[in-house]
């Protein structure tokens, strides 16, 4: 497990609890804490705490042998570890898990494509010192796919491992499009959240910013369609035509829920640098399309400028 942040720690905990041999890579204070105390989690909605001791290392050596590496780091942090992953030729499969607008383009310049998979962890939370705060620890999902879209034997084997660890697996035949759609949705909401904080409120209580975020989502989906990028999952297509008051009502319910405050708002607060990076990636990707981006431009000005 390359990355000992919130999501990396949660996945390491689940996989270890499921009987797998797991090593988590961490550095500095986090490394010392995990070595001495293990992973400590708290599900704030179910009022349950968990602790598990786990193998921890502070480096990946060229000769280290693992069946799989899960890279669960913020998007802007990954570039620096690619040469380290290249030096290790013993690990056949590396899954890059997280927000990703560029697909495997950067990774495949350094790593053999047959080693690369892409994925996304359907879980969120934040950290208080060394304690991981999350919600619904027993309802984690994991989206994963091969670069060529095939549902390979490798994917099926991974599905079994993660399912046995209590993680719901969803195999994708176009994980790149899925990840691009996800960014198109999460970026306006993150920007709206940061803009609301500047107003000393929350996105779930600022209807003006929430409406602007909904328009931003629609602009992004329209741009992806213009570039012939499939909208996945398909239910996201409804965001293009559902009346705004229905979308607003669903988002208000989610954002103002206890789950939303922990897994969405809490995670967004802890990952502002990543949200800025994937927003920039999206803006670069859709340059040249004819879609009007006035709502996204306004959100960008209010949140990052």
Q: Are residues 201 and 146 in the same domain?
A: no
Q: Which of 225, 221, 228 is nearest to 242 (CA)?
A: 221
Per-residue pLDDT at 139? 94
Per-residue pLDDT at 269? 81
Q: Are residues 150 and 196 in the same domain?
A: no
pLDDT tens across 134-159, in order?
A: 999 999 999 999 999 999 999 999 99
Does any domain span residue 26? yes
Per-residue pLDDT at 289? 94
CA distance 161 to 70: 13
> What backbone phi and psi angles, to 5 degrees, belong to 294?
-65, -35
Q: Which domain holds residue 120?
A: 6-173
Q: Are residues 296 and 261 in the same domain?
A: yes
Which CATH number does the domain housing residue 54 bear? 3.40.50.720
Of the residues 141, 173, 205, the one at which a domain ends = 173
Question: Is the entire prediction scored with pTM above 0.75?
Answer: yes
Three-state secondary-structure class, residue 25: strand
Q: What tokens appear for 179 in the block?
A: 């990840």
How far does CA 195 lie from the centroid of its chain? 21
Of the residues 115, 139, 173, the one at which a domain ends = 173
Q: Are residues 198 and 63 in the same domain?
A: no
Per-residue pLDDT at 241? 95
Per-residue pLDDT at 264? 85
Does any domain span residue 208? yes
pLDDT tens across 158-173, in order?
A: 999 999 999 999 999 9
Q: Are residues 216 and 292 in the same domain?
A: yes
Find the Cα–Cα–Cα–Cα dihedral 73, 52, 85, 145, rounded to 10°. -70
Q: Are residues 28 and 156 in the same domain?
A: yes
Q: Are residues 182 and 87 in the same domain?
A: no
Q: Are residues 13 and 89 in the same domain?
A: yes
Residues 6+ apart with CB under 8 A from 26: 4, 34, 56, 57, 58
Of the residues 105, 140, 173, the one at which a domain ends = 173
Q: Are residues 16 and 90 in the same domain?
A: yes
- Provide the domain count of the chain: 2
Per-residue pLDDT at 228? 96
CA distance 165 to 178: 24
Does any domain span residue 1? no
pLDDT tens across 181-221, in order?
A: 999 999 999 999 999 999 999 999 999 999 999 999 999 99
Does any domain span residue 135? yes
């Amino acid at each position: 497990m390359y990355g000992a942040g919130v999501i990396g720690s949660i996945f390491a905990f689940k996989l270890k609890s499921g009987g797998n041999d797991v090593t988590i890579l961490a550095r500095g204070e986090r490394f010392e804490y995990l070595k001495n105390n293990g992973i400590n989690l708290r599900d704030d909605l179910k009022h349950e705490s968990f602790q598990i001791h786990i193998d921890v290392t502070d480096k990946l050596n060229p000769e280290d042998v693992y069946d799989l590496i899960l890279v669960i780091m913020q998007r802007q942090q990954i570039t620096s570890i690619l040469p380290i992953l290249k030096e290790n030729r013993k690990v056949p499969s590396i899954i890059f898990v997280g927000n990703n607008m560029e697909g495997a383009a950067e990774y495949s310049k350094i790593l053999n494509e047959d080693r690369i998979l892409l994925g996304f962890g359907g879980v969120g939370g934040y950290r208080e010192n060394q304690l991981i705060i999350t919600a619904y620890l027993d309802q984690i999902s994991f989206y994963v796919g091969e670069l060529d879209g095939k549902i390979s034997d490798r994917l099926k084997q991974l599905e079994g491992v993660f399912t046995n660890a209590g993680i719901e697996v969803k195999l994708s035949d176009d994980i790149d499009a899925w990840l691009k759609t996800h960014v198109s949705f999460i970026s306006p909401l993150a920007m709206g959240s940061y803009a609301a904080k500047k107003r000393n409120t929350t996105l779930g209580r600022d209807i003006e910013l929430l409406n602007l975020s909904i328009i931003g989502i629609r602009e992004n989906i329209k741009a992806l369609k213009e570039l012939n990028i499939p909208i996945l999952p398909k239910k996201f297509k409804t965001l293009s035509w559902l009346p705004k008051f229905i979308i607003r009502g669903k988002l208000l319910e989610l954002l103002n829920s206890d789950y939303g405050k922990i897994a969405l708002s809490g995670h967004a607060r802890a990952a502002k640098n990543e949200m800025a990076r994937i927003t920039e990636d999206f803006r670069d990707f859709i340059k040249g399309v004819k879609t009007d981006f006035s709502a996204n431009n306004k959100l960008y000005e209010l949140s990052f400028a």
